[in-house]
């Protein structure tokens, strides 16, 4: 299938990785206690899961397809007929949506991994979905173009 737009994003915040990697490494140096090795194993598993997280956004003639792997095992689609308005936006991830990931905020639902740029899709049913995107203007442009066809 030919996609008109495709973007994959991961968690790239340096401060997040410092926090995630601090706990397993610090547990090794606190005490030589077997319980600390459990903390190390758990502490290593959490960064591994964060490393696997990936927001996948694709656009074709049918609409926008998205998947937040590994939480979504399949791709979900928003068809063009469901979209009322499409806008490239700059937003505040923490104050508007409560951070990054799959979030439910006062301004609607958000799928994002990093940054503060995205595309907000206003649906005909009155709900909003924001998709974080480092190419937010290109994503909005493609969606608007195929919606006008």
pLDDT tens, per residue, the chain with 149 residues:
688 999 999 876 666 667 766 766 666 666 566 666 777 777 777 777 777 788 999 999 999 999 999 888 899 999 999 999 999 999 998 888 888 889 987 778 999 988 899 999 999 999 999 999 999 999 999 999 998 87
Q: Are 7 and 134 in contact (CB under 8 A)?
A: yes
Range of the domain at 122: 1-149
pTM for the whole structure: 0.79
Q: Are 131 and 83 in contact (CB under 8 A)?
A: no
Instruction: Note the helical H segments in 13-99.
Output: 14-30, 34-52, 93-97
Alpha-carbon gap, residue 136 to 130, rounded angstroms: 11
Q: Which of 62, 94, 87, 88 is nearest to 77 (CA)?
A: 62
What CATH number should be reported for the domain holding residue 53?
A: 2.30.29.30
Number of domains in the chain: 1
């Amino acid at each position: 299938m030919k996609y008109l737009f495709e973007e994959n994003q991961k968690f790239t915040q340096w401060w997040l990785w410092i926090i995630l990697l601090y706990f397993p490494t610090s547990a090794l140096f606190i005490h030589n206690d077997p319980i600390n090795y459990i903390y190390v194993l758990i502490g290593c598993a959490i960064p591994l899961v964060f490393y696997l997280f990936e927001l996948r956004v694709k656009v074709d003639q049918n609409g926008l397809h998205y998947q937040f792997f590994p939480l979504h095992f399949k791709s979900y689609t928003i068809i063009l007929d469901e979209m009322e308005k499409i806008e490239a936006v700059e937003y505040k991830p923490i104050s508007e949506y409560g951070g990054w990931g799959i979030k439910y905020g006062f301004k609607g639902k958000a799928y994002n991994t990093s940054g503060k740029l995205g595309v907000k899709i206003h649906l005909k049913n009155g709900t909003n979905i924001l998709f974080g995107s480092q190419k937010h203007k290109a994503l909005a442009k493609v969606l608007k173009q195929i919606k006008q066809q």
